[in-house]
Each structure stands twice: as structure tokens, then as C-alpha cells.
A = this chain, B = another copy of it.
Amino acid sequence: MAHVVDLKAIQDAYARLSSFLHLTPVLTSTTVDEKIGRKVFFKAESFQKTGAFKIRGALNAVLSLKSSNPNLKGVATHSTGNHGQALAAAAKLTKIPCSVVVPENTSLVKIDAIKGYGANVVFCKTTQQSRNETCERVAMETNSVIVPPYDHKDVIAGQGTISLEFLNQVPDLDALIVSVSGGGLISGIACAAKSLKPEIKVFAAEPEGKELEKSLRAGKRMWPNPPRSIETIADGMRTQQLGQLTWPIVRDLVEKIVFTVNDEEIAAAMKFIFERLKVVVEPSGAVPLAAAFSPRFKDVLHENESLRKIGIVLCGGNVDLDCLPWIH
């Protein structure tokens, strides 16, 4: 089935990106292997530039725009979180002006981070409508192209470069566990991984309330409209619905069994990663290990002896160190 992104697009993205970004290391832990009963490999995107994988997609989008339009005047987006920072950093790396629209209640820390990359910060009201309208107005005024956080082929292709590196570093992976929110990360990863290695299984890990499995089993979008946010400490994963472009890829390439974890499990996995892997991860980054520790994953392994090497993507490490969830 034809998707908006294919292996060639991801390989092209990697050729564009790799000189700008870190080749993030793969870590292992005997304790984790003993606890899960399989060899587990962690792709540590916390060590990526800007502290999260998001720079891959944002930078691929900016570089693609620049090469197809040498007169590109700027890029713009609206974001309260990592995507705003990632686009600002991508624009800085490629010397393109960048505007980021943020709701007026956004924390100063995040605004400072975006400004730190030299982007122009524009405030809007907190409604989705104001965010969209302000972003469109700013893009028009500055002659900029809007880069969305996940539902864009170049963004998806950029995130997919993780699979190229990971399967090069650990060629015999049998399965991957990946966080899912809007779906940019998991669709890119699944697209590259399944093209290179059709027998690999890609599992989604989600916070409670997302209900991806229901849609996957039905083979169609079963989420209630208008789109909702999820209550979870995984602040990078509050979008309930997948995007229009990411959904068909996830529907076709990701396993139907989805691992759902609650805040307590996420916080425990996060502390475990700090303690044992010595990696700073944000709650979203801990969701796949929380999934791997779940009884349901144990059942899956029990029924699938052939899943011997498991890859986990630690997607980012941008966490407020003054507010760690295990310290009260």
C-alpha cells in the first residue's frame, strides 16, 4: 500500500540531516535484560541535539523547503513544547528566520528556550482557533512556510532516520517499542524499519486514554471528535488522535496489540532509567520501557519466543529537573 513516505524518502532525509545531528548511542543494561528476559537495546535520543528526536523531522522539513525553494524567507509553527524548540533549532542550523506562535500562558522556560535558538516568539490566545489563525497570519506577514509538528511527509521521513541508525547499530533487532502521540515518530520508524526488515515487529506504547488499539483493531479512526487531549504526565503525548498522514502508516505497519501505561508506571520507568541507565529522560521517553515492564508485554514475549532482541527508543530528555515525579 502506498504511503506518503517510503524508504527512499527516509534515506534522502538521512543524507540531508546526518552531518548536522548526533549519531545517538545505543545503551544496554544487564539489569533490564534480566528483568525482561530478553536482550534490550536503548536508542538514546535524549542525547540528540535539542534533547529530543524532534529536531530530525523539523530539520528535514526545513532543509527540504530550502532546497526546493532557495528564496525561502522563513518557517513558522505554533507549539507549546518540543516542536517549537526543534523548529527554532533547525532554522538556526540552516540560517532561516523562524517564528513560533505560543499561547500566552506558556511557561517562561519554554519561551526562553525558543528565543535561545534565535526564533521570533509571537503570543496568541490559548484556544486552538487563535493558535491556528495567529500562525497563519504570522506566516503570511513574514512570507514563511508553516511546518506542522507531525502530520507532514518531511517530518515523518526525518523521524524515520532513527530506524536507519538503530538497525545499523543493532542489525538483528526483532521488535521495536515506540511512543505514540500524533504519530510522527512511530510512523517514520515503522516505515523505515519494515522496509529494511519486513519481519520486524513495531509496537506502540501509549498513555492511558489514547485508545489506539481500538482504532487499529477496527482498521479505522474510532476516536471521538472534536479531537481531545489526554491527561497524562507524559506531556509530549497529550494528543489523542493520530494525524491524517500518520494514521494510515500506523494502521498498516504497527502491531495491533498496543501497550497502555498509567502515570505511576511511567514515573517508575522514568526513575528506573535515571537510576540504572543513567540517562535523563522526560516522562514521554519512559513510556516504552514502562510498556516493556507491563504484564501484557510479558504475555506477548511468552507467545513469541522468536522476539529475542528488543529495541526501545528513549525519545527525549527535556524535563524540569526541579519537578521530578518521584520527589514530593
Contact = CB atoms under 8 A, between A and B. Distances in A.
Contacts of A51: 276, 278
Contacts of A327: 322, 324, 327
Q: Chain B CB within 10 Å — which of A46, A51, A275 has the most? A: A275
A275 B317 CA distance: 8
A27 B49 contact: no
Interface string A14-47: 0000000010010110100000000000001011
A22 B44 CA distance: 15
A321 B47 contact: no
B278 A321 contact: no
Contacts of A277: 47
A275 B326 contact: no
Contacts of A30: 49
A201 to B, nearest CB: 27
A324 B321 contact: yes
Contacts of A5: none
Interface in A187-235: none
B278 A317 contact: yes
Interface residues of A, number: 25
A279 B322 CA distance: 16
A278 B317 CA distance: 6
Contacts of A279: 278-280
A327 B322 CA distance: 6
Contacts of A324: 321, 324, 327
Nearest to A30: B49
B274 A321 contact: yes
B22 A47 contact: no
Contacts of A321: 271, 274-275, 324, 326
Nearest to A25: B25
A83 to B, nearest CB: 19
Nearest to A273: B280
Interface in A47-72: 47, 49, 51
A112 to B, nearest CB: 13
Nearest to A49: B30
A279 to B, nearest CB: 6
Contacts of A44: 278
A138 B228 CA distance: 65
Nearest to A282: B278
Nearest to A46: B278
A74 to B, nearest CB: 22
5 contacts: A25-B27, A278-B280, A278-B281, A279-B279, A322-B327
User: Which 4 A-B pairs rank lowest in CB-CB distance, beginning with the nearest?
Assistant: A25-B25, A278-B317, A46-B278, A278-B280
Given A22-B27, A322-B326, 15 more contacts: A22-B28, A25-B25, A25-B47, A44-B278, A46-B278, A47-B277, A47-B278, A271-B321, A274-B280, A275-B280, A278-B281, A278-B317, A279-B280, A280-B280, A321-B326
